[in-house]
Each structure stands twice: as structure tokens, then as C-alpha cells.
A and B are shown apart, each in its own frame.
Chain A
Amino acid sequence: MSEPHAPRRPLDPESAPPIFEASGLRKRYRLGAFTIEALRGVDLVVTRGEFVVVAGPSGCGKTTLFNLLGALDGPDSGSVLFEGSDLGRQTSGERTLFLRRKVGFVFQSFNLIPVLTAYENVEYPLRIDGLGRAERRRRTEEALASVGLAGRMHQRPDQLSGGERQRVALARGLVHDPRVILADEPTANLDSTTGAEIVDLLARTNTERGTTFLIATHDPAVIERSPRRIRLLDGRVIADEGAGARRPGGVR
């Protein structure tokens, strides 16, 4: 295993341009007769190139927050600006292009397409974006090589280990060179050694490519590695610590 990489620390977080500006985010779910308040007014600013962990116990609202930041869902109130543009005002087509080009997702359960090989899974975002064959091939092979899977690219997900699947998922998230990666519990389904390797990979990518990372986790090993840690509890930001942190409560 290679030496752990330190995630990138923006030299001047105050002056770096914000990539996400969330304010007053509220989200409720109905669960039968009950209403669950998943987010109760979250304010958050993340600048370009940051490596941020959103930590908290299960049910604290991490996934809901990521869904709103990634435009997979809309808030009941509040807004999310991505590079100054309000995600809530996007048309359906604009949202599809946003998901296709600006953001990459890494899921806890990998969420690979089971009928596609590792290569095809990674190539998929480029194909739906209409890139030519040669360019797709170059970028797919490069992405797979960057996660150490150059020799496993023709295996299907069910022929790969958990760690390998998560590497494929990361390569898929990175292949189109997004501004930001939203990784929701990326180590939760992995053993500690493999989990550490994946975090190292995320950190190295942040360092080498300058990609912004937001990682939702309750894994202490991941939390410790992050230069900035936002803690969520019961749908609220209770702490924002480390380099680039805003004042407590997450409000800038």
C-alpha cells in the first residue's frame, strides 16, 4: 500500500471561490403517519478544491444533505447554489447535464450497473455525454488505471471484490472530470484496510486533480483524515472544524 496522501488544504479558504453555498435547507419526509424532519435549516459553504467530511450518526441527515447538494432531490425550503447558480431553478435538461458533467457520485453500495463490465461502467458517463470512441477509451483506461484497476477492466461487478467495486465506482465518478465528488459512506461496506485504501485514493485524487470532495461518513478513520469536518446531528450542523471551517453552525 502506498503512503497515505494528505487531502488538499486550500491555501486561503476565505478567498477561494465557493462551489456550494447552501442556506436554510429544510427537508421533511412522511413515513406513514409520521413526519421526519431530516434537515432543519442547514447553512453550508464549500470552496473549490476542499476535502470535507460530513460526519454524524445514521439518520442525522447526511444522505439527505448530499441529495440536495447533488440535485437528486429538492429542499422544502432554502436553496443550494452551485458555482453561484441556483440548483432549484434548473430545468430537467439542465439538471441532467449538471449530473452528467459537474458532479460525480460514489455510493455506499457501489451502485454499479451489473450487466456492464468495469470498463463499460466507467465509460458509461462519457458515452451518454456523446464523447467519441477514442476519447472515451483514453479517459476510461486512464480513470481505471488511476484507481489501480487497469488489469481488471473486463470483469463484471459480481467478479470483483468490494474494494475493487468501490474503485470502479470512484473511477466512474471521476472519468468525466467533475467539479465535485459526493461520496456517501464510501467505506461503510468495506473492511478497515480496504476502506483506508479507498480514502487514500480519494485524498490522492483531491491532491492531484484538485477535485472537491464531500464525504458523508460516520467512520472515525475517515473523519480523522479530513482537514475539515462538519458534524450533523438531528438535521442540524452542530460543528464545523478544521481548515476552511466556518463559524460553528456551519454559517459562514
Chain B
Amino acid sequence: MKFAVIALRNLARNRRRTLLSLLIVAAGTIGTLLTAGFIRFSFEGLREAIIHGGIGQLEVVPRSDVAGGESSAERPGIPGMQDWQELRNGIEAMPHVLAAGAIVQFTGMLSKGERSAAVIAVANEPGRERRMRFEVKLRGGTGLPDAPPSDGEDAILLGTVLARSLGAEAGDLLTLLGITTDGTLNALDLRVAGLITTGLQDLDSRIVKMHLASAQRLLGTQNITSLVIGLDDTARTPEVQAELDRRLRGREPSLAIVDWKTRAPFYGQVESLYLGIFWFLGSVIFVLVCLSTSNTLMMSVMERVREIGTLLAIGTSRAQVAAIILLEALWLGLLGALAGDLLGIALVAAINGLGIQMPPPPGATGGIELRLATAPGDFAATVALMLVILGIAAAVPVGMSVRLRIADALRHV
């Protein structure tokens, strides 16, 4: 009779109590699984939203523009990247690269009649952005055409909040003022093609988008601010970055390669916040499961003091007695976690299938659908976690059982 079987049979002695303990462990497992699933989905969703919102996985930018590593949204200025066409061709020939889109970013003043607003202008190549699977969230009108507009046919997309403040709508003609590379003021008339949202209210009140050719015409330059690179898989970012870094080494003027995480410090903050929440919830689950199962194991030991005394009297070592109690705890952890995993799989499927809508996060313009992203490793991890918790929960009962004096234990009623 192996100790593991004895331990399992001991659990079957008080089935109601064992069932309750299993439910507690299962509930802890489900709680951990769902929390981890929600946080993973949030991370993945936010990451892909940031990347496909326009910043791509990587950006190549003049090193002089990235002191401190801030994102290009925070460093609008005169486009300083020259001779980029050949570089772009080389990048687009690399494995896993979908496209490398040229970006010009600058600040300007947009006017409609009497109304004016300071704007952040992002000029891009719509065809390449589509290849990079970037999303343009249109809220009216149409997108920008892929082909460079001819002079006089320039078009613009306005952030929804900005459009409201200017009283502009699709089809209106607006004037954008900008400073050329030689420092003079220039103006360009653009027709509103459509309204867009970035998902962030603050940005929607300042953002405009136009074709690269329009911006270069306004600023009087062929330079660009940066090349934004879209990959087929975000997980490939480090390897493509390393290869690109190797290729650009020694190039003058020096270029920097910035990854999406560096360009979106917001993501890191959200990640820290969510991980903090996850650890807090995890700690609560840990304490609840540990205390309640420890109590159950303690009761089980208290009820078997004489039996444990008998085991010791017939030559069972104290380590073997400890092993029996510990194995009971581990059985509870294993069976409870497996039950929790099975229920968790069903719950995750149900929640994902229901399409529950969550309210918009602070500063966002739209709600998000509640989805849970579980990975196969989560199930093994929750089992391992519960085994650890139950192992800790067994510490006190095990300590009590191995400290029993045999004669006292045999007298125990």
C-alpha cells in the first residue's frame, strides 16, 4: 500500500469535507485562470491596438531625434531623414517585414473660416499602412487614396473631436499652415476626406492625417521623419530589430531603431498596473485557499491523532507520517486544480462566446469586448500553483503530526 494511496483513501473518509476543500481549490484555480486570461487578453489587445494604430513594431529614425527614446508623436519637428528610399527597399526585403512606411510628422495650424486649431499632422502612405495591417478607424467620409494626390487634390482626415471643434465635416475645404524646412510659413488647402478616431479623446482633438506627398509639398522637402516597419508577427520584433541593427551599424548619419514598447510607454504603465492587480488578486486567492485548506488538513490530523500514534508505534518514521499528510494536501491540490481547470475552460469559452461589452477605459472613446486569452501553460501553471499552496497549507498539520508523542497520541480519545 503506497502512501499516496493511503493519503487518497484518507481523503475519502470525510467526503463532504474533502468536497468542500476541493471546491475551494477549484475556485482558487478558476479565479487565477480567469484573472490571468483577462490580463493576457488586455495586454495582447492593447499591444496590437498600439502597433496597428500606426506605430508599427519598429521605427527607424535619425538618432538625433530619439535622445531619451521618446515616441515620434512627442517629437514633431522638421523631417530630418534623407536618402531613405534605398534603405526602405532593403528593409522591405527582410523576412517577416510586411512593409516599411514613410512618415512625416509635424505641427501646424488648421483653419476653417474663422476657426483655427493647433494640430499634430501625421503624413503617411495609405497603401503601405494597409499592407502593415494598420487600422484607420473611420467615423465618417472615406479614407485617403493610396496614390499620391496631385497638386490641388490634397485630402485630409480629421480627428473627430478636432472636426467638431472646427465645425468641419467630410467634403469641407480647410487650410493647413506649416513651417517649411527653410523656416518660412507655407499653407496648403486640403479637402476633408473623412473623420477618424484614435480611441483616445486627447489625441482625437489634435490629430490630422494626410498623404506623405501632401506633407512634403507643404514642408518643401523630400525628407521624412521616420520609417515605420510592420511585421507579420509581433513576437519577431527582437530578431528583426537585431538584424536591422546589424545592417545599420556604421551608417552615417546615424539611425536608431526603436521598438513599439519604447515608443508607447503607456503600454508599460498599463502592464505594471495590471500585473500589480494580478499579484494582489493572486495573493488574496493564495491566502484564502491556504488558510481554508490548512484548517481542513488540521481537522483531519486532529481526528486521527491516535491513528498517527499507532503508525508511529508500529515503526512508521516521522518523515513517513509527514509524507502521508503532505500527500493528502497534494492530492487536494491536484484534484481541485484539475477540476478548476476543467470548469475554467468551460467558463472561458462561455464568457468569450457571450461577447460581453465592457465600458470604455478612462480617456478612451469606445467600449471593449470582454475576452479572456488563456494559454496551455496556464493550466499547468495553476496546477503547480495549487500544489505549492497546498504544500504550504500542509506545513502546520505536518508539523503537528510529527511532533506528537506516541504515548500521548495512543491515549488520545
Q: Name A's B-contacting residues (CB within 8 A).
A: 64, 67, 70, 72-73, 92-93, 96-97, 99-101, 104-105, 107, 111, 113-116, 120, 123-125, 127-129, 172, 176
| Closest A residue to B406 using CB positions | A72
In the complex, the answer to whether B406 meets A116 with C-beta atoms within 8 Å is no
| Closest B residue to A113 using CB positions | B307
In the complex, which residues of chain B have a beta carbon less than 8 angstroms from the beta carbon of A127?
1
> Does any Cβ of A come within 8 Å of B112's Cβ?
no
Cβ-neighbour of A101 out of B10, B315, B407 (below 8 A):
B315
Given contacts A73-B407, A107-B410, A127-B1, contact A115 B314 (CB under 8 A): no
Question: A72 vs B312: C-alpha distance in the bound complex, in angstroms?
Answer: 9
| Closest A residue to B316 using CB positions | A128
In the complex, which residues of chain B have a beta carbon less than 8 angstroms from the beta carbon of A107?
310, 410
10 contacts between A and B (CB under 8 A): A72-B407, A96-B316, A99-B313, A99-B314, A111-B306, A115-B6, A115-B9, A115-B12, A124-B314, A127-B1
| Closest B residue to A111 using CB positions | B310
Most buried by A among B1, B6, B10: B1
Q: Which 6 A-B pairs have the closest CB atoms?
A: A100-B315, A115-B9, A73-B407, A111-B310, A99-B315, A72-B406
In the complex, the answer to whether B10 meets A115 with C-beta atoms within 8 Å is yes
In the complex, the answer to whether A100 meets B314 with C-beta atoms within 8 Å is yes
| Closest B residue to A97 using CB positions | B315
Question: A70 vs B242: C-alpha distance in the bound complex, in angstroms?
Answer: 73
CB distance from B410 to the nearest CB of A (A): 7
In the complex, the answer to whether A72 meets B313 with C-beta atoms within 8 Å is yes
In the complex, the answer to whether B314 meets A92 with C-beta atoms within 8 Å is no
Cβ-neighbour of B315 out of A73, A123, A129 (below 8 A):
A129
| Closest A residue to B405 using CB positions | A73
Given contacts A96-B315, A120-B1, A127-B1, contact A73 B406 (CB under 8 A): yes
Question: A5 vs B316: C-alpha distance in the bound complex, in angstroms?
Answer: 33
Q: Name B's A-contacting residues (CB within 8 A).
A: 1, 6, 9-10, 12-13, 306-307, 310-318, 320, 405-407, 410
CB distance from B13 to the nearest CB of A (A): 7
In the complex, the answer to whether B315 meets A125 with C-beta atoms within 8 Å is yes
In the complex, which residues of chain B have a beta carbon less than 8 angstroms from the beta carbon of A115?
6, 9-10, 12-13
In the complex, which residues of chain A have a beta carbon less than 8 angstroms from the beta carbon of B310?
107, 111, 113
Given contacts A111-B306, A114-B13, A115-B10, contact A124 B313 (CB under 8 A): no
| Closest B residue to A71 using CB positions | B406
| Closest B residue to A27 using CB positions | B407
In the complex, the answer to whether A105 meets B1 with C-beta atoms within 8 Å is no
In the complex, the answer to whether B320 meets A128 with C-beta atoms within 8 Å is yes
In the complex, the answer to whether B1 meets A123 with C-beta atoms within 8 Å is yes
In the complex, the answer to whether A99 meets B1 with C-beta atoms within 8 Å is no
CB distance from B337 to the nearest CB of A (A): 23
CB distance from B319 to the nearest CB of A (A): 9
In the complex, which residues of chain A have a beta carbon less than 8 angstroms from the beta carbon of B1?
116, 120, 123-124, 127
| Closest A residue to B9 using CB positions | A115
| Closest A residue to B13 using CB positions | A115
A111-B306, A127-B1, A128-B315 are known; give 12 further A-B pairs, CB within 8 A. Answer: A67-B407, A73-B405, A73-B406, A92-B318, A99-B312, A99-B315, A111-B313, A114-B307, A115-B13, A116-B1, A120-B1, A128-B317
In the complex, the answer to whether A116 meets B313 with C-beta atoms within 8 Å is no
In the complex, the answer to whether A125 meets B6 with C-beta atoms within 8 Å is no
CB distance from B145 to the nearest CB of A (A): 79
In the complex, which residues of chain A have a beta carbon less than 8 angstroms from the beta carbon of B320?
128
In the complex, the answer to whether A105 meets B313 with C-beta atoms within 8 Å is yes
Given contacts A114-B13, A116-B1, contact A72 B315 (CB under 8 A): no
CB distance from B230 to the nearest CB of A (A): 63
CB distance from A126 to the nearest CB of B (A): 10
In the complex, which residues of chain A have a beta carbon less than 8 angstroms from the beta carbon of B316?
96, 128
CB distance from B170 to the nearest CB of A (A): 79
In the complex, which residues of chain A have a beta carbon less than 8 angstroms from the beta carbon of B405?
73
In the complex, which residues of chain A have a beta carbon less than 8 angstroms from the beta carbon of B406?
67, 72-73
| Closest B residue to A173 using CB positions | B314
Most buried by B among A64, A99, A104, A172: A99
